[in-house]
Structure 1
Amino acid sequence: NTLAIIPIISTLHHPRSTEAATKYFLTQAAASAMILFSSMINAWNMGTWDITQMSYTPSNILLSLALALKLGLAPAHFWLPEVLQGSTLLTAFIITTWQKLAPMSLIYMTMNNLPSAILLMLGLTSSAIGGWSGLNQTQTRKIMAYSSIAHLGWMAMIASIMSNIMIMNLVVYLMMTTALFTSLICSKSKTIQDTATTWTTSPTLTIIMMLTLLSLGGLPPLTGFLPKWLVLEELIMQNLTPMATAMAMSALLSLFFYLRLTYTTTLTLSPNTLQMKFKWRFKPTMPFMMVTLSTLTIFMLPLTPLILL
């Protein structure tokens, strides 16, 4: 998986993309070595190489930290924004969606053995740092990197409590991130200033981008409210009310920079196009996948009872 994505990151033949590929390789190789080392320690002490049957506590602690490094959970998150900034939008989309599936599947298989306290602290710090660090960003790829860190924090928070909510959270995150990255790729928006000029060429795409951003922020009428609602409800049922309060407060930080993006995208006066035969910018096309995922990202909240059943 790691070896397959490195040529994709370095396709630009630019020093920044080469640096991003090197950082990605070093972090993923170190995390893989930590996973192998944890399984080796467990085999030495317990006599089994089965990763789902790890009962030696130091091995479980090392495995949880290795998976945090692979995913980009805080405080092992420093590589993710830099790698995404040195990549194209399409490569950043692959890193924040497809590349998260393998570590999340490992968490799902070993969640009964991973220390709950470490997962809770990783989730809380990731949600807080992801929201706090994204406040002063102007590049859309770095904003999406910190958005990914914050959402992965919510998944790590609920992983040791209820696995079904974690899987549902992952599916909703993949849908919302795919919809937003598709909108950014179609509009070729690499900075916040680029999103302000989208309205003149494609108002529909701009509206979809605005609603997707609000859904990522977790506002109640939209799909993004569903995972946050269920996670907070489960935390309160497990008598983790202070943790639920801290997660809700950290969600406000993420909501702030989503609202800032929404403001610059739709609520500011964009430059008007010239009254001439040839436009200075072509109208972006809207692929079928983006329309479908955007619809699910916006209107899936009423299906919550069916999902819970």
Structure 2
Amino acid sequence: SNHWHLAWHGLEMNTLSILPLIMKSHHPHAAEATTKYFLAQAAAATMILFATTTNAWQTGHWTMTHATPTAATLITIAIMMKLGLAPTHLWYPEVLQGTTLYTAMIISTWQKIAPLTLLYMIHNHLCPPLLLMVGLLSTLFGGWAGLNQTQTRKLMAFSSIAHMGWIIIALSLNTSLATLTMITYIIMTTTLFTSLATTTTKTISDMGAAWPLSPALLTTAMLTLMSLGGLPPLTGFMPKLLILKTLTTMNLTVLGMFVLATSLPSLFFYIRLA
């Protein structure tokens, strides 16, 4: 929708629809995860509603084509919180840890689409330096924080934070490149979560124990992990190469080198998991 109010309603329906799935297991951890997810999403939604109302008051329009720089920045920060990007990412690993693997997969893939679509629709009004900074922070936090994790859901949470950083950087450069990166991320993450759920792998040590039971499935999981790490010639290498090429073309070579360096810790914990 091009109308801010309808877009906000859509985001809230998207949020409320996942809450029963998170708390389905009736475990105390699931209840805690549901509460954390709801509070984080509600805070972001309140900020979006405040920004859009202020924008409508200043411009006299509720359409997305009319957005003041202040409103666009506030909406960007709120969507960052909804997506679990650094530095507003602290709720995200805890929520994934408190739910089932299949629900964690939905939160990491499907639930990202609506907020990202909103960013796509207002990308002409976005502040590129803010997006690049948030993207760099996300790749940094996602990589380093994942190093000392042993739970696969938390590892996947930090992996998701790092990959969303790449997507946000791509969005500030080229929307088509961001779309390619997002599609690749969704395919790889869905494949890996399905493999982990099928083999009931909840910790790194479970991965080794599950190998004799389903070697073919775990081989697929390992290849997917290498792809998530961006190793050539696997699928995940191409979007990262294109993003780095675009950064270099736009004379942002130093930023490209930093982003590349921050992705090395992620590659390390993917290899450790494999």
- Answer yes or no: same fold by TM over 0.5: yes
When residues 52 and 85 of structure 1 are mapped into structure 2, their CA distance, relative to the original with a 3 A threshold, is farther
Give the aligned partner of residue 7 of structure 1: 20
Letter in 1 for 2:55: N
- Ranges in structure 1 where 5+ consecutive residues have no aligned partner: 263-309
| d(CA) in 2 for partners of 1:42, 1:119 | 20
Counterpart residue number, 1:287: none
Cα deviation code 1:67-105 (max 9, x no counterpart): 100000100000110000000001100000000000110
Write the letter of the residue equivalent to 1:179.
T
User: Which of 137, 140, 151 lines up with 1:128 in the alignment?
Assistant: 140
Partner of 1:228: 240
1:20-99 to structure 2, matched below 5 A, reads 20-54=33-67, 56-99=68-111
Equivalent-residue separation in structure 1 for 2:272 and 2:118 (angstroms): 35
| Counterpart residue type for residue 53 of structure 2 | M
Q: Contact conserved, 1:112 with 1:160, CA < 8 A, in 2?
A: no
**Distance in 2, Cα, partners of 1:135 & 1:52:** 42
Deviation at 1:118, TM superposition (A): 0.7
How far apart, in 2, do the equivalents of 1:191 and 1:224 lie? 24
Cα distance in 2 for residues equivalent to 1:100 and 1:88: 18
Q: Per-residue displacement from partner, 1:253-299 (whole Å, max 9, x unpaired)? A: 1101001111xxxxxxxxxxxxxxxxxxxxxxxxxxxxxxxxxxxxx
**Equivalent residue runs for 1:138-157 within 5 Å:** 138-157=150-169
- Does the 8 A contact of 2:86 with 2:138 survive in 1? yes
Q: Which has the larger radius of gyration?
A: 1
Instruction: Quote how far apart the aligned CAs of 1:129 are.
Output: 0.4
Quick check: 1:109 aligned with 2:110?
A: no
Query: Does structure 1 residue 18 correspond to structure 2 residue 31?
Result: yes
Cα offset for 1:52?
A: 3.6
Q: Which runs of 5+ in 2 are unaligned?
A: 1-13
Point out the structure with the larger helix share: 2
Tell me the CA shift for residue 51 of structure 1.
Answer: 2.4
Deviations 1:228-269 (A, max 9, x none): 00100001111111110001001111101001111xxxxxxx
Rounded to whole Å, the distance in 2 between the matches of 1:178 and 1:199 is 20
Give the deviation of 1:53 after TM superposition: 2.5
- Counterpart residue number, 1:304: none
User: 8 Å contact 2:59–2:66 — kept in the other structure?
Assistant: no
Instruction: Please provide the CA RMSD for this pair.
Output: 0.8
Which position in structure 2 is the counterpart of 1:278? none
Could you tell me which amino acid in structure 1 is paired with residue 221 of structure 2? M
CA–CA separation in structure 1 for the residues paired with 2:65 and 2:22: 32
Hey, what does 2:194 align to over in structure 1? 182
Secondary structure of the 1:169 match is helix
Tell me what 1:168 maps to. Answer: 180
Q: Is the 8 A contact 1:158 1:165 kept in 2?
A: yes
Counterpart Cα distance in 2 of 1:92 and 1:51: 31
Alignment of 1:210-289 (within 5 A): 210-262=222-274
Larger mean Cα displacement after TM superposition, 138-147 or 38-47: 38-47
Q: CA deviation at 1:221?
A: 1.0
Which segments of structure 1 move beyond 3 Å, counting only runs of 4 or more? none
Q: What count of residue pairs does the alignment treat as equivalent?
A: 261
d(CA) in 1 for partners of 2:249, 2:54: 36
- The answer as to whether partners of 1:31 and 1:70 remain within 8 angstroms in 2 is yes
Q: Which residue of 1 aligns with 2:219?
A: 207
